[in-house]
Chain A
Amino acid sequence: QQQVKQSPQSLIVQKGGISIINCAYENTAFDYFPWYQQFPGKGPALLIAIRPDVSEKKEGRFTISFNKSAKQFSLHIMDSQPGDSATYFCAALYNFNKFYFGSGTKLNVKP
């Protein structure tokens, strides 16, 4: 049973558009929610993260929106660029020690 559910599996966006990836969780003990970006042949790299006492966090073109009551969070990529084409994973931290990951979203930004 997947602890963190991520959608969509794949996403195609035109250059300059907004990419939106969604995640949902059930375990209210999760207390830290990062997003990772992975390029082919590389390990995932931390992109941006949020704690549940905050509803939104923005870093450059990347924004996390967090809805604690709905147990959902999402990644928004504004002004998407071809260089953003990668696989994105959401994750949730349990017990300060273990991350549970979503299944990943493959983003393709077309020029």
Chain B
Amino acid sequence: DAGVTQSPTHLIKTRGQQVTLRCSPKSGHDTVSWYQQALGQGPQFIFQYYEEEERQRGNFPDRFSGHQFPNYSSELNVNALLLGDSALYLCASSLNPGGRMNEQFFGPGTRLTVL
């Protein structure tokens, strides 16, 4: 059983460019959350997708947007990249957003470097 997969592993972009990161959830999971982890920091919640809609959003600007497809996979898009967007982007999947016990399974992340 494949766990959460993310692509690409590493990415280098320049300021002002746009980037798309991809995530496939663990088999059987229907909810995808995205996190940004700056170097030496804990992950910060960006947003969560369920039933192809954004259900919750953290304190991130509109430059950060996402999408969930019918097969539950998800994309994270970041426009007008800034140097401060350099980070490890983590995707986590879980089985439906209801219930307090839902464990989120994390992917290995995409390392984005903005020059």
- Please indicate whether A and B come from the same complex rather than being unrelated chains: no
Measured CB to CB, the residues of A under 8 A from B are: none
Measured CB to CB, the residues of B under 8 A from A are: none
